[in-house]
Structure 1
Amino acid sequence: MIRRSTTLLLAVMLVVSACQPAATERPASPTPEVVASAPPTPVPTQVVQEGPALPPSIGEAILLHTQFAADIDAEGVPIGEADAFPEGITQILALVGWRRVDPGTELRLRLFQGDHFVLEHSHVVQTGRDAGFVVPLVARDGFPAAAYTAEVSWNGVPDELATFTVGDVPRAGVILGSGSGSGPMPYANPAEVLVVTRERILRANLGAAADSVFAAAARVGDLHDLEADGTERATPEAAAQEVHRLLSGGRYRYLLILGNDDAVPFFRVQNPLADEERTDLSDWQLPADWLPSDDPYANLDGDHWAIPDLAVARIPSSEDAELLLTQLSDLSPPDGHAYALINQERRTQAATVISTINPSIAVELDYAPPVDTARFASGPAADARYLYVLLHGIGVLTDAWSANLETWVPQNAAQRYAGEWTVESRRHQLDAVSIDGNPGSRGLVNIGACYGAWTLDTIQEPQHKTADNNLALHYLKSGARAFVADTHLSYTVLQAASDPPLGRTGFERIFWRAIGQGATAIDAFQQAKLEIGASIDQLVARGHAQGAALNLKTLHYMVYLGRP
């Protein structure tokens, strides 16, 4: 069995071997002490951080999210990994880890209790790869009930804020930026939307509810049965011929496909990374040679990359009348800000996307762990106007998305807090989002998880995907305004803000930039398609064959689910 996803750090892979100079010696330091009170000093960067700026370490290091735990067991597993601790606890460990940092880099942790400075611990990196240091925060008389903020600096510049609470006090999370959004997100003009389906398939599955679904579909666009002339069109190629005929007049700007793979089949687009992915997918009996895509339905000019000439959306259910009617209605997202849940191992990689989400909207930021399924289900995600999730997924078990867990092993067991620790990902992962207890979302949802939008049947159980075992369908049925994700193994790519878009990360950067500039969700999605598509020839011309293959796959595995 493999992990739920594979992540490619393409920008780092090419240079990582050159980033490991010899380690330097560092003298041992005493155990820091937490005091109950201290003279007030200015807070480093507020827990509400104005403007979701990029961490200064971007492009120079890959840092993990700073974690807190009560202890670390003999196997290297953090015990009581959390951001809330009971009043009176006498020791909390701060875990500062990295995948890559140049030796000689100074990382400094400063702890604040409310707005009071408590302590500072400086560490000079010795081990450049997969390492970290642990700061034991000790309060002999017990930690006072309060909210605490840890600021981690990279070479003297604040790079991250991490928070925890002790006792019965309100949770102190990190919010980037300020402001909120309000009002509806406009839908496409129905006169510009072509809606296609195979009526006989939906009628067979929906029964008496079919008429209501077709009536609703006719209100959001120009509804056409692809088999209205009596010709069976059960293959994507046959269906596409009719779709292209209907689109040929030029009156439409959007295509909405009504139904799942059984009604209007996804194209099986060749996977340009099949050879690299085949082994990872064999245990799951998932296809490596192809990936599901709707892009060829809108490739009207026949270009060789099959870049869609107009935006394609799909409501991928042929049997759930409630889901279909919900998505065909006028959905209005909540007023408010954005919420992001990030795999704690992907803090650096997520930063360019987080910083691009609408700059006029605050982003509440959480990490998994410590967030698990129960906390996510009861947290702010359901009421967020925008929801962004960066976790792991797989096309068989589509009812949960998971995060990496780490083992922390001291390099010198005799002086474990004086030296560095080896930090490695465990095979076991933590489910952070699941269907159980999940209220869903009424907002705009962007999922960065492998197979986040996979709704096709699989060989392994559960074979048939429904809103009860598939998160994409669950979110659509709950009333998500739109759901943007991928249909195959997808790639989180380390990028700086000035880098050309690459992989799913690059697609998401373009998408959220367009949202911030006022584009509708479907237009922002199409803008990302066009820019990723245009980049393929540019990468080929520069000799970046691997990057071109990655963006070709990205172009086709990103899908828009919901009404355009």
Structure 2
Amino acid sequence: MKAIITNKEILQEKFKDNFLEIENKLKEYCKVFNGKLFYTNKTKPDEIRNVFDKAEKEGINSFVIVGGDDVIPFFKLKNPVSGDGDEIVYSDNPYASKDNDYFIPERSLGRIPDGNNAEFLINVLDNFIGIKKDKRKGKFGCTAFEWIKASKEVYKAVNGRTLKISPPIKSNTIETKWLNKKKFFYFNLHGSEETKYWYGQKGENYPVAFSPENLNDVNCSNAVIFSEACYGANIINKCLNEAISLKFLERKAICVVASTKIAYGPSEPPSTDADLLGKLFFEEIINKESFGIALMKAKQNFVVESSKKGYLDITEKKTVIEFVLYGDPDLTI
């Protein structure tokens, strides 16, 4: 059974005349997915977390947060990496944890953002409600030139072979046919908190490699995305065309896993940090795990693998807490 957790009062205030349609869609979503709607008027993450504990006692085994940070806030965690520019890390990890060790999730959890747009939220919910499995198997992968070797190692987890490399690839040279009707998307690019773009790199050259506009005419139905771009999951005060993660959902992708803050990774194998997490996540979903369980297991296995040296280092700790899942955690490929 699934818990759908949101704040009715904030949704009403935010979307006003559109709220009733949103609420009806949430009820339909619950009916289709054997879910129960939990409204909370709490605004502090620690208090909201009690709703998760209560729901679990009712037999709930997966959780969906509906809304952005202004509806159900991310936890604002202390950044384990001092001096990298991020004072805090936006995270859903503590919601997925049953105890105070929020580095290791124990719950299947996803978030459906609202994109600060009622029509967007209704359409995303509608997409999940009417989802139909398909047999598409295609992949699209794009990496910064500096990270080719490392990216190839991750891309192999979905049997990916040919990566687009930036440079020379730029957003204005990407063709719709490369992206259309693909099952898996993998990105190992730079990101920015200030812009909507993801960037490649060769030396001191950082071309725009991917933008929301690249998806304007793309059929992303049933697509699964893993992005290592810094701020790839940043939706704070973002609208549809200001965040690639939101654009993927608008184009009917069913799962986006990305980082809310600065992410880390090696330039070549072996896979560590975001590379290792992405590899482990892809391996789980290829084995037909649901997306929420796949990310949970990937993080658990990441901690086991990374702790073989006796501890988690600061970038490993940050990796575990900053990667979030946008989508329904119970869906599978």
Query: With structure 1 as the length reference, what TM-score do the two structures score?
Result: 0.53
How much has 1:242 moved relative to structure 2? 2.6
Does residue 226 of structure 1 match 2:5?
no
2:285 partner amino acid: I
Give the SS at the match of 1:449: coil
How much has 1:481 moved relative to structure 2? 1.3
Corresponding residue number in structure 1 for 2:228: 448
Corresponding residue number in structure 2 for 1:342: 143
Percent identity of equivalent pairs: 20
Q: Map Cα deviations across residues 171-212 of structure 1 (whole Å, 9 max, x no partner).
A: xxxxxxxxxxxxxxxxxxxxx211100011111222232222
How much has 1:536 moved relative to structure 2? 5.6
Corresponding residue number in structure 1 for 2:66: 258
How much has 1:550 moved relative to structure 2? 2.0
2:281 partner amino acid: F
**Change in CA separation of 1:345 and 1:537 when aligned onto 2, cut-off 3 Å:** closer
- Structure 1: 5+ residue runs without aligned partners? 1-191, 228-232, 282-287, 406-424, 457-463
Does residue 356 of structure 1 match 2:157?
yes
Corresponding residue number in structure 2 for 1:113: none
Q: Map Cα deviations across residues 1-59 of structure 1 (whole Å, 9 max, x no partner).
A: xxxxxxxxxxxxxxxxxxxxxxxxxxxxxxxxxxxxxxxxxxxxxxxxxxxxxxxxxxx
**Higher share in helix:** 2
How much has 1:332 moved relative to structure 2? 4.4
* Contact kept in structure 1, 2:191 and 2:198, CA below 8 Å: yes
Q: Aligned equivalents of 2:232 and 2:173: distance in 1?
A: 20
Q: Aligned equivalents of 2:92 and 2:234: distance in 1?
A: 12
Q: Given the alignment, which residue of 43, 46, 68 partners 1:237?
A: 46
Which has the bigger relative contact order, CA under 8 A and spacing at least 6?
2
**Matching of residues 539-558 of structure 1 within 5 Å:** 539=309, 541=310, 547-558=312-323
Q: Map Cα deviations across residues 273-322 of structure 1 (whole Å, 9 max, x no partner).
A: 123x1xxx3xxxxxx2310001111211x143442211210012263223
* Contact kept in structure 2, 1:401 and 1:449, CA below 8 Å: yes
**Change in CA separation of 1:207 and 1:465 when aligned onto 2, cut-off 3 Å:** same
How much has 1:272 moved relative to structure 2? 0.8
* Contact kept in structure 2, 1:510 and 1:528, CA below 8 Å: yes
How much has 1:517 moved relative to structure 2? 1.9
Give the SS at the match of 1:383: coil
Q: Given the alignment, which residue of 301, 321, 324 partners 1:531?
A: 301
**Change in CA separation of 1:400 and 1:318 when aligned onto 2, cut-off 3 Å:** closer
How much has 1:386 moved relative to structure 2? 0.8
Q: Given the alignment, which residue of 191, 194, 197 partners 1:393?
A: 191
How much has 1:268 moved relative to structure 2? 0.6
Q: Aligned equivalents of 2:65 and 2:245: distance in 1?
A: 16
Does residue 509 of structure 1 match 2:317?
no
Does residue 195 of structure 1 match 2:9?
no
**Matching of residues 62-77 of structure 1 within 5 Å:** none
Does residue 206 of structure 1 match 2:15?
yes
**Higher share in strand:** 1
* Contact kept in structure 2, 1:331 and 1:479, CA below 8 Å: no
* Contact kept in structure 1, 2:6 and 2:40, CA below 8 Å: yes
Q: Map Cα deviations across residues 478-509 of structure 1 (whole Å, 9 max, x no partner).
A: 2111111111110122564xx5x630111011
* Contact kept in structure 1, 2:170 and 2:210, CA below 8 Å: yes
2:238 partner amino acid: K
* Contact kept in structure 1, 2:170 and 2:208, CA below 8 Å: yes
* Contact kept in structure 2, 1:313 and 1:560, CA below 8 Å: yes
Give the SS at the match of 1:485: strand
* Contact kept in structure 1, 2:65 and 2:72, CA below 8 Å: yes
* Contact kept in structure 2, 1:339 and 1:363, CA below 8 Å: no
2:110 partner amino acid: A
Give the SS at the match of 2:157: coil
**Matching of residues 99-178 of structure 1 within 5 Å:** none
Q: Map Cα deviations across residues 248-285 of structure 1 (whole Å, 9 max, x no partner).
A: 34x1221100000111010011211123x1xxx3xxxx
How much has 1:563 moved relative to structure 2? 1.7
Q: CA RMSD of the aligned region, Å?
A: 2.1
Query: With structure 2 as the length reference, what TM-score do the two structures score?
Result: 0.88
Q: How many residues align?
A: 317
How much has 1:452 moved relative to structure 2? 0.3
Does residue 299 of structure 1 match 2:97?
yes
Q: Aligned equivalents of 1:194 and 1:470: distance in 2?
A: 26
* Contact kept in structure 1, 2:68 and 2:115, CA below 8 Å: yes
* Contact kept in structure 2, 1:447 and 1:485, CA below 8 Å: yes
* Contact kept in structure 1, 2:115 and 2:240, CA below 8 Å: no
2:153 partner amino acid: T
How much has 1:378 moved relative to structure 2? 2.5
Q: Aligned equivalents of 1:495 and 1:327: distance in 2?
A: 37
**Change in CA separation of 1:309 and 1:336 when aligned onto 2, cut-off 3 Å:** closer
Give the SS at the match of 1:260: coil
* Contact kept in structure 2, 1:332 and 1:481, CA below 8 Å: no
2:198 partner amino acid: W
